[in-house]
């Protein structure tokens, strides 16, 4: 297949790498020229997201409109030329990042939800204790049934908005510990994205509307960073240094972000925001998937490395709490008719009638970068 990956920074690098691995013909468009070097190890030629590439935009726009290539973007700003693309996978505005311990996730293919899953999220201060709370790791559990009344109300608005891509709806613990729906996000959320495509049988097939599936029961994704992450001051960038300790087999389970390949074909940080890579581990056993991800993260040798080694340590407690309320069954799968109620603090939830959900319009501004 042929695909155009259009990104504001480096959030969609995992998609591009995965598509290249599957033999797809991938072109890359980067709107923020500072981040072009992070894409340099992927392709020789990068389309720059400014005026002098306008003619190239128009040619690609016609190709996409005729269905000749899929377009994946995390940056709708400046993407009007691709608005008529037959296969456009993007984001919606007003998607608000929730910080609950769980999320219900699925892929919306333009008509229906597929590949449903449960996401366990590790929020907290990053090692060192500075900066905002960030997502320090995620556990994806396949097979969660999200065909719940609040999800089915999303189908028609999403279809009308022309949305295709990842959806996550936060699950919070209300007073008394009862799970309730929280905020919703429509697009490429960092770490959720990596966990989802990490164990996908074929990303190309998914984008082309063919059958695809999550191969293992559990996927654990653990970010590896260096300062200044998670703070991103314009005047302070990450150091450029060689990433050691990993071999060619290890890189198969790493998604690199702030990186480049030097003249000696070594992996180096690119001196950007310090979000270096995401280590992944998968298995039908949660303990083994977690051990594989953390073992790989530990192997990476880089000065001032930061990683959350406690990712998943409370997974048994959290899953047990969900089971206690009947949210998941003994098989670990979310029950399809569990009465989840939306919380009052979600700007995307309109509690009118049968709990209808208001879906935002496509954004005209740049989406927040992944990670």
Give the tens place of pLDDT for each residue, 155-188.
888 888 888 999 888 877 777 767 777 778 888 8
Name which of 307, 304, 314 is nearest 293 in CA terms. Answer: 307
Cis peptide leading into residue 356 (ω within 30°): no
Q: Cα dihedral angle (222, 16, 116, 177), rounded to 10 degrees? A: 30
pLDDT band at 41 (very low <50, low <70, confident <90, very high): low
Mean pLDDT of 109-128: 86
Provide the greatest CA pair distance for the chain. Answer: 63
> Tokens 């995965």 label which residue?
18
Looking at residue 142, its pLDDT comes to 85
Lowest mean pLDDT segment, chosen from 106-115, 245-254, 362-371: 362-371
- Tell me: pLDDT of 349 over 50: no
Residue 299 per-residue DSSP state: H
Sketch the domain layout of the chain as residue ranges. 2-89, 102-324
- Tell me: pLDDT of 358 over 70: no
- Tell me: pLDDT of 362 over 70: no
> Tokens 């995307």 label which residue?
348
Name which of 220, 215, 188, 218 is nearest 199 in CA terms. Answer: 215
Looking at residue 107, its pLDDT comes to 92
Mean pLDDT of 235-264: 85
Mean pLDDT of 127-147: 75
Using DSSP, state whether 107 is helix, strand or coil: strand
- Tell me: pLDDT of 259 over 60: yes
Q: Do 303 and 236 form a contact (C-beta atoms < 8 A)?
A: no
Looking at residue 340, its pLDDT comes to 60
pLDDT band at 97 (very low <50, low <70, confident <90, very high): low
pLDDT band at 262 (very low <50, low <70, confident <90, very high): low
| Tens of pLDDT, residues 306-343 | 999 888 888 888 777 777 776 676 666 666 555 565 54
Looking at residue 287, its pLDDT comes to 92
The more confident residue out of 96 and 37 is: 37
Looking at residue 335, its pLDDT comes to 61
Mean pLDDT of 97-106: 79
Pick the CATH number of 2-89 from 3.40.50, 1.10.287, 1.10.10, 2.30.30: 3.40.50
Lowest mean pLDDT segment, chosen from 42-51, 76-85, 270-279: 42-51
Give the integer Cα–Cα distance in Å for 11 and 366.
Answer: 12
Please state the length of the chain. 371
- Tell me: pLDDT of 95 over 70: no
Mean pLDDT of 20-24: 92
- Tell me: pLDDT of 7 over 80: yes
Mean pLDDT of 280-304: 94
Looking at residue 148, its pLDDT comes to 56
Give the integer Cα–Cα distance in Å for 157 and 161.
Answer: 6
- Tell me: pLDDT of 47 over 90: no
- Tell me: pLDDT of 268 over 80: yes
Beta strands per DSSP E along the chain: 2-7, 25-30, 47-48, 70-73, 88-89, 102-108, 113-124, 134-142, 165-173, 179-186, 218-225, 254-256, 260-261, 267-268, 275-283
Name which of 136, 17, 121, 11 is nearest 75 in CA terms. Answer: 11
Strand partners, 171: 102, 181
Q: Give the residue ranges of DSSP H helices in the chain.
A: 13-21, 54-65, 149-160, 192-198, 203-207, 248-251, 286-299, 315-324
pLDDT band at 364 (very low <50, low <70, confident <90, very high): very low
Residue 165 CB neighbour total at 10 angstroms: 22
Looking at residue 25, its pLDDT comes to 92
Mean pLDDT of 287-293: 95
Give the integer Cα–Cα distance in Å for 266 and 271.
Answer: 15
The more confident residue out of 216 and 79 is: 216
The more confident residue out of 350 and 55 is: 55
The region, left, alpha or beta by phi > 0 then psi within -120 to 50, assigned to residue 30 is beta
Looking at residue 330, its pLDDT comes to 62
**166-185 residues labelled b (16+ CB within 10 A) or e (exposed):** bbbbbbbbeeeeebbbbbbb
What is the architecture of the domain spanning 102-324?
2-Layer Sandwich (3.30)
**69-78 residues labelled b (16+ CB within 10 A) or e (exposed):** bbbbbbbbeb
- Tell me: pLDDT of 360 over 80: no
Percent of the chain with pLDDT over 70: 76
Give the integer Cα–Cα distance in Å for 153 and 157.
Answer: 8
> Tokens 């098989």 label which residue?
331
């Amino acid at each position: 297949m042929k695909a155009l990956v259009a990104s504001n920074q480096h959030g969609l690098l995992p998609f591009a790498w995965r598509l290249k691995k599957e033999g797809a013909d991938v072109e890359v468009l980067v709107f923020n020229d500072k981040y072009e070097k992070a894409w340099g190890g992927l392709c020789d030629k990068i389309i720059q997201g400014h005026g002098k590439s306008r003619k190239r935009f128009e040619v690609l726009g016609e190709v996409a409109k005729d269905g000749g290539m899929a377009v994946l973007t995390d940056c709708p700003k400046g993407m009007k030329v691709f608005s008529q693309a037959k296969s456009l996978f993007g984001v919606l505005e007003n998607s608000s990042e929730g910080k609950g311990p769980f999320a219900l996730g699925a892929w919306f293919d333009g008509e229906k939800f597929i590949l449903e899953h449960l996401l366990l999220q590790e929020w907290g201060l990053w090692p060192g204790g500075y900066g905002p709370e960030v997502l320090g790791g995620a556990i994806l559990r396949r097979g969660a049934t999200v065909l719940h009344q609040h999800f089915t109300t999303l189908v028609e608005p999403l279809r009308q908005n022309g949305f295709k891509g990842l959806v996550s709806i936060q699950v919070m613990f209300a007073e008394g510990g009862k799970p309730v729906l929280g905020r919703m996000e429509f697009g490429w959320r960092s770490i959720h994205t990596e966990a989802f495509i990490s164990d996908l049988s074929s990303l190309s097939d998914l984008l082309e509307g063919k059958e695809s599936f999550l191969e293992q029961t559990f996927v654990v994704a653990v970010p590896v960073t260096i300062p200044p992450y998670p703070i991103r001051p314009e005047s302070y960038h990450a150091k450029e240094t060689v990433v050691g300790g990993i071999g060619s087999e290890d890189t198969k389970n790493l998604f690199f972000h702030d990186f480049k390949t030097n003249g000696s074909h070594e992996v180096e940080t690119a001196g950007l925001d310090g979000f270096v890579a995401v280590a992944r581990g998968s298995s039908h056993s949660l303990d083994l998937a977690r051990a594989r991800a953390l073992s790989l993260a530990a192997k990476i040798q880089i000065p001032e490395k930061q990683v959350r080694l406690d990712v998943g340590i409370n997974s048994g407690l959290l899953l047990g709490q969900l089971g206690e309320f009947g949210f998941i069954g003994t098989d670990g799968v979310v029950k399809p008719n569990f009465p989840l109620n939306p919380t009052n603090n979600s700007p995307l939830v309109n509690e009118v009638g049968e709990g209808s959900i208001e879906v935002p319009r496509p954004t005209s501004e740049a989406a927040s970068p992944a990670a």
